[in-house]
Chain A
Amino acid sequence: SQTIHQWPATLVQPVGSPLSLECTVEGTSNPNLYWYRQAAGRGLQLLFYSVGIGQISSEVPQNLSASRPQDRQFILSSKKLLLSDSGFYLCAWSTTGATYEQYFGPGTRLTVT
C-alpha cells in the first residue's frame, strides 16, 4: 500500500532563517506531488505541484521554492523565512490521470518567530 511521509511534524524558526521540508511517498511510481499551505482556520492554498522529476509548477509567487530530486521525493525550501510563512504545510500525491484523488501527508506546523 502507498504511504506518504512528511517531516518534521513541527518547526519553529526565526525570521530570516532557511527552511527545508521534506515529503516522500512509498508504494507508487511517478506520482503527481503537491505542496499546500493552510493558514489557521482557512482553506488550502496550492503552492507547487510536480508531474515528474525536475518538473515544478508554481502557483503563487513568493519566497518559497520546491524541488523534486527523485521520483517520490518533494522538497519545499526557503532561503529566508518571513513571518507570513507561518502555517500548516501539507504534502499530497495523486496518480496521474483524470480522477486526481489526492492523498495527504500528516503536515508540518511551521511557526516563524
Chain B
Amino acid sequence: SQQGEEDPQALSIQEGENATMNCSYKTSINNLQWYRQNSGRGLVHLILIRSNEREKHSGRLRVTLDTSKKSSSLLITASRAADTASYFCATVFSGNTPLVFGKGTRLSVIA
C-alpha cells in the first residue's frame, strides 16, 4: 500500500509539553501534508512540505521531511488543551494522483 503510516497511534501529554508524531511512506512523493481533525469534524490543513524541502515552520508547528528514510515528523511545541485532536499525514505521489491519508495519531493534551 502507498498509504502513509503515523506513529504513535495515540499520544497523551501534559499541557506545555512538546508532541512529536511521525509518518512513514513507501514510494517517492511530490509533497507531504499534515492535517488536524477535531472529534466529529472535518479535517483542517496544517502544513505542506515539498519533496525538495527538509523543514518548515508554522507558528508552534515544525515539520521535517527525510526523503532518504521516507519519513516525516510533526512537532507541536508548548502544547495546549486545544491541540487535542487526531493528526493525519497525507502524501501526493505524482502530479495528478489524489492525496493518500494515513490512519492518524490521536493526541490528547491534558490540562
Whether chain B is bound by chain A comes out as: yes
Among the 9-residue stretches B12-20, B65-73, B101-109, the one with 4 or more Cβ atoms under 8 Å from chain A is B101-109
* Residue B59, interface by CB 8 Å: no
Interface residues of A (CB under 8 A from B): 32, 34, 36, 41-44, 46, 49, 59, 88, 90, 92, 98-107, 109
Instruction: Report the minimal beta-carbon distance from B14 to chain A, rounded to whole angstroms.
Output: 23
**B contact residues vs A (CB 8 Å cutoff):** 3, 30-31, 33, 35, 40-45, 48, 88, 90, 92, 95, 98-104, 106
CB nearest to A94 among chain B residues: B99
Task: Determine how close the nearest CB of chain A comes to the CB of B17; give it in whole angstroms.
Answer: 24
- The B interface is mostly helix, strand or loop, or mixed, namely strand
Residue pair A100, B99 in contact (C-beta under 8 Å): yes
- Pick the contact of B44 from A41, A98, A100, A104 — CB < 8 Å? A104
The answer to whether A44 and B45 have CB atoms under 8 Å apart is no
